[in-house]
A and B are shown apart, each in its own frame.
Chain A
Amino acid sequence: MRGIYKIYPPEVLALENVDWSLKKGEVHSIVGENGAGKSTLMKILSGLIKPSSGKIFIKDCHVIFSAPYQAMKMGIGMVHQEFMLIPSFKVYENVILGSEKDLSKFGGLLDKRKAKSIIKSLSEAYGFEIDINAAASDISVAAQQKVEILKQMFRKVEIVIMDEPTAVLTPQEIEELFGRLRKLKEMGKTIVFISHKLDEVLEISDRITVMRKGKKVDTILNKDITKNVLANMMVGRDVIFRVNKPFKTPGKAVLEVDNITVNSIKRKTLGPVRFNVYEGEILGLAGIEGNGQFELVEALIGAMALSSGKISVKGIDVTNIAIRDRRKYIGFVSEDRKYTGLALKGSIKENLIMTHHIKNEMHNLPFTINWNKGEIFAQRLIKDFSIVCRSISEQCISLSGGNQQKVVVAREFTLNTPFLLLDQPARGLDVGTIEFIHKKILDMREHGIAILLISADLDELFNLSDRLMVMREGKITGILDPSETTKEDLGAYMLGVKENV
């Protein structure tokens, strides 16, 4: 790829003059912070988007892709971050979707037997161990990823692009994935691995390309580089991997969760769950997604009714009070800022005063909002949390992901609540913003706020938490001390191999 530019409308420069090459049979990683242009570059290679300028050559041949199927014909396939499977279809049906034509018999009828046998042999050849007759909705996330890879193999793809494949996996599953990737490499496939997790990149790649702010920093051989150098290249400065966390003796219990259970028709039940979060403590909650974290969050915030049990904050029973009243005691950063954390089409100002608008100091008459105060308040938060924006009237949708999350964090951290519920507060953000948010979280801890931190990022949990709690199938299966636990150990708890409660 030569001289690639991509400018997203209206004026977002995503890629700037990128030259990049891929050798047959290698595992090539692309690392960079969020928004560095990794995914954009690969989407261009796989034909999903068109470059604003620049050319692509395959074996010295200039190619122009205007749709993914054209890239596919040239042997390039991409496994996206969000899987593109139809939940009600069976595994093999998902695999052949889009290429049924090659499998037709009698001029139109699908030859299911042939399809199944081809896929079965493919699956065996690569050691995938997957039930091709299961419905896509019934299999685990890791298995769904396998299906996506299988899909590419079925299309006889030579170059497999994997966009952040490890983000959704547990440590054990990541190992499995790496094994599978190595096997693919042995069979002559070329693999592009997009990630921002340096350890993984160093483990799997032959060559590594570092990107920063839409530009290629360099491409280097794996054996020539260390983690710190890589991180430096990525961020453009030295990064502290360990957070300095002063020791603190926890104080009184702030959040008391007393044997709560949630029964719902569609989802698994939560509980009974019982735990406390203490003043000045960060309690980390680990667990594979879908093991009751969602219900716990909804129950704490009041969006889902409890079937039994009691929740209190600072001794005040909040079990049955409305969200509006509950928010006096609970600050909440949601895992999805787009659907819960923000009104993307609203202005920054409007987003920042949410929940604050209930407070008396925002009113001049009881039913009105004092927008002068609101604007002063918003300006202050923008300064305090270094939110980069043009004005407080700008729509949140035009902010970068990191700045959007800062808006959420700024709003929730200034509510003066004794308890903060943080659900994946740093997911999908670049290293700089993560650092910033982590620092703010520790500040809150300093101020004696009780914090429940839910995260899928084990590094984050280990770095920040005073105690670790593991949830599995709606129950607490372990309370651990992060200083005496290894990641692998935590993984074992998450997968249900170990329990200590």
Chain B
Amino acid sequence: MSRFRKFIVGILGLIVGLILSILIVKMQGKSPLEVYKALFGYSLGSLLSIISTLNAATPLILTGLSAAMAWDAGAINLGQPGQFLIGAITAALLGIYLPFPVWISIPLILIGAAAAGALWSGLAAFFRQKYNMDEFVSTLMLNFIAEYFTTYLVTYPFLDPKAYVASTTAIRKAFTLATPDQFNKGIYLAVLVAIFTWWIVKRWGIGYEWHMIGLNQRFAAVGGCKTERDYSLAMLYSGALSGLAGGILILGGTQHRFMKGIGGNFGWDGVMLAMIANNDVIMTVIFAFFFGALKAGGIGMEFDTSVPSEFILVIEAIIVISVVATRATIDLYGGKLKALVKTRRVVKNS
């Protein structure tokens, strides 16, 4: 499918999704116009809103790419939430304890977060290579371990005794990547990483091999691709992206420390993004911004219209389903329609 067509299908799916959500809002007895006005106003309506949207999009770009990269290479990494948390806790601890100057510490913290995420997904890759354990299951299980492990760390050894919830102390002020307006400068890095990822996928040998393995593993293996190495690298890269997302959230987010529950939905939203974007790098980034806008707008929507912000989750789910379904439907019925038209033409001519 051409990029243009992909884009059109994506937009169509979005429109279908938004129309369906309008119906649901109507059924709830609320005004769809107000809901969308609030959604728009709080996501793009002012500078503060735009900052909110960009901040929400920043981790999503990376977790989305994390899922997209792994799946493109046929590795079913569903461990984004866990890899995110491990990356975040690493960044938080490095941010508290690293004694070096800023220019060396910030790169070190981000590399550390990425490495920690890669370590987490690398575990799953190792289990797969060594014991033939399905990464689909192991990454999911590692999510739980990551959650409880990080909760343990912030509840006991690294607890900030002055905090009212389980959390570490804040990272050194100099390490924060947020402006006074709370704009997360990490987004520059996220976009850079996205461009780099695009470069790998489109121009590197391993990007080609990943894609081929994802399409047909046996074909790639027989064709001489290093399937095992490529698989491991895909998992590691995917984990590193999620870990980096966690690191950027710590440095550039609003908390500047690791606290229980900080991962929120970023991991799973990334999974959803990759699904909608069909593992395409550019589409993932575009949809990350869109989802960021929904996330930011959702709070305002709840505030203005008292439609609960969980409704955003419903909209997201509807959009996922309608984009995917639209993709399939256009392929199916578009083909059927063409066949029908051609039948008419051919039968008439003979």
Physical interaction between A and B = yes
Q: Which residues of A contact B (CB under 8 A)?
A: 3, 5, 7-13, 16-17, 52-53, 301, 303, 322-324, 326-327, 332, 334, 339-346, 350, 353-355, 357-358, 363, 367-369, 371, 393
Can you report 30 A-B residue pairs in the complex whose CB atoms are below 8 A from each other?
A3-B347, A7-B342, A7-B346, A8-B339, A9-B335, A10-B335, A11-B342, A16-B346, A16-B350, A17-B346, A52-B339, A323-B222, A324-B226, A327-B223, A334-B222, A339-B216, A339-B219, A340-B218, A345-B216, A346-B212, A350-B211, A350-B212, A354-B212, A357-B208, A358-B205, A363-B205, A367-B204, A367-B206, A368-B204, A369-B207
Q: Are B212 and A53 in contact (CB under 8 A)?
A: no
Residues in B with CB closer than 8 Å to A324 are: 224-226
Residues in B with CB closer than 8 Å to A393 are: 2
A323 to B182, CA, bound (A): 53
Residues in B with CB closer than 8 Å to A340 are: 218-219, 222
Q: Are B343 and A357 in contact (CB under 8 A)?
A: no
The residue on B at minimum CB distance from A412 is: B223
Residues in B with CB closer than 8 Å to A11 are: 338-339, 342
The residue on A at minimum CB distance from B203 is: A368
B158-217: which residues lie under 8 A (CB-CB) from chain A?
Answer: 202-209, 211-212, 215-216
Whether a CB of chain A sits under 8 angstroms from the CB of B325 is no
Taking the nearest CB of chain A, how far is it from the CB of B173, in angstroms?
Answer: 40
Knowing A16-B346, A369-B203 touch, does A9 contact B224 (C-beta < 8 A)?
no
Residues in A with CB closer than 8 Å to B328 are: none
A322 to B223, CA, bound (A): 11
The residue on A at minimum CB distance from B213 is: A343
- Chain B window 322-350, contacts with chain A (Cβ cutoff 8 Å), 1 for yes, 0 for no: 00000000001011101110110011001
Q: Are B205 and A368 in contact (CB under 8 A)?
A: yes
Q: Are A358 and B343 in contact (CB under 8 A)?
A: no
Knowing A350-B208, A368-B203, A371-B203 touch, does A303 contact B222 (C-beta < 8 A)?
yes
Residues in A with CB closer than 8 Å to B339 are: 7-12, 52
Taking the nearest CB of chain B, how far is it from the CB of A395, in angstroms?
Answer: 8
The contact of B347 among A9, A53, A303, by CB within 8 Å, is A53
The residue on A at minimum CB distance from B350 is: A17
A83 to B287, CA, bound (A): 45
Taking the nearest CB of chain A, how far is it from the CB of B157, in angstroms?
Answer: 41
Residues in B with CB closer than 8 Å to A301 are: 222
Whether a CB of chain A sits under 8 angstroms from the CB of B220 is yes
Taking the nearest CB of chain A, how far is it from the CB of B331, in angstroms?
Answer: 9
- Chain B window 8-22, contacts with chain A (Cβ cutoff 8 Å), 1 for yes, 0 for no: 000000000000000
Taking the nearest CB of chain B, how far is it from the CB of A1, in angstroms?
Answer: 15
Residues in A with CB closer than 8 Å to B223 are: 327, 354-355
The residue on A at minimum CB distance from B225 is: A324
Whether a CB of chain A sits under 8 angstroms from the CB of B221 is yes
Residues in A with CB closer than 8 Å to B347 are: 3, 5, 17, 53
Residues in A with CB closer than 8 Å to B334 are: 9-10
The contact of A346 among B211, B225, B226, by CB within 8 Å, is B211
Q: Number of B interface residues, CB 8 Å? A: 34
Taking the nearest CB of chain B, how far is it from the CB of A393, in angstroms?
Answer: 8
Q: Contacts A9-B335, A13-B346, A371-B202 given; 8 further ones with Cβ under 8 A?
A: A7-B339, A52-B343, A322-B226, A324-B225, A324-B226, A339-B218, A354-B220, A369-B204
Residues in A with CB closer than 8 Å to B202 are: 371
Q: Are A5 and B205 in contact (CB under 8 A)?
A: no
Q: Are A53 and B343 in contact (CB under 8 A)?
A: yes
Taking the nearest CB of chain B, how far is it from the CB of A346, in angstroms?
Answer: 5
Residues in B with CB closer than 8 Å to A344 are: 215-216
The residue on B at minimum CB distance from A52 is: B343
Residues in B with CB closer than 8 Å to A332 are: 222
The residue on A at minimum CB distance from B212 is: A343
The residue on A at minimum CB distance from B202 is: A371
A345 to B2, CA, bound (A): 13
A487 to B144, CA, bound (A): 65
A350 to B203, CA, bound (A): 12
Taking the nearest CB of chain B, how far is it from the CB of A473, in angstroms?
Answer: 26
The contact of B338 among A10, A334, A341, by CB within 8 Å, is A10
Residues in A with CB closer than 8 Å to B222 are: 301, 303, 323, 332, 334, 340
Taking the nearest CB of chain A, how far is it from the CB of B226, in angstroms?
Answer: 6
Taking the nearest CB of chain B, how far is it from the CB of A320, in angstroms?
Answer: 16
A17 to B349, CA, bound (A): 11
A393 to B203, CA, bound (A): 16
Q: Are A358 and B346 in contact (CB under 8 A)?
A: no
Q: Are B208 and A52 in contact (CB under 8 A)?
A: no
Q: Are B205 and A367 in contact (CB under 8 A)?
A: yes
A401 to B207, CA, bound (A): 28
Residues in A with CB closer than 8 Å to B225 are: 324, 354
Taking the nearest CB of chain A, how far is it from the CB of B271, in angstroms?
Answer: 21
Residues in B with CB closer than 8 Å to A357 are: 205, 208-209
Residues in A with CB closer than 8 Å to B208 are: 350, 353, 357, 369
The residue on A at minimum CB distance from B222 is: A340
Residues in B with CB closer than 8 Å to A326 are: 224
* 8 tightest Cβ-Cβ pairs between the two chains A and B: A9-B335, A343-B215, A10-B335, A354-B223, A343-B216, A10-B338, A324-B224, A52-B343
The contact of A369 among B205, B221, B340, B342, by CB within 8 Å, is B205
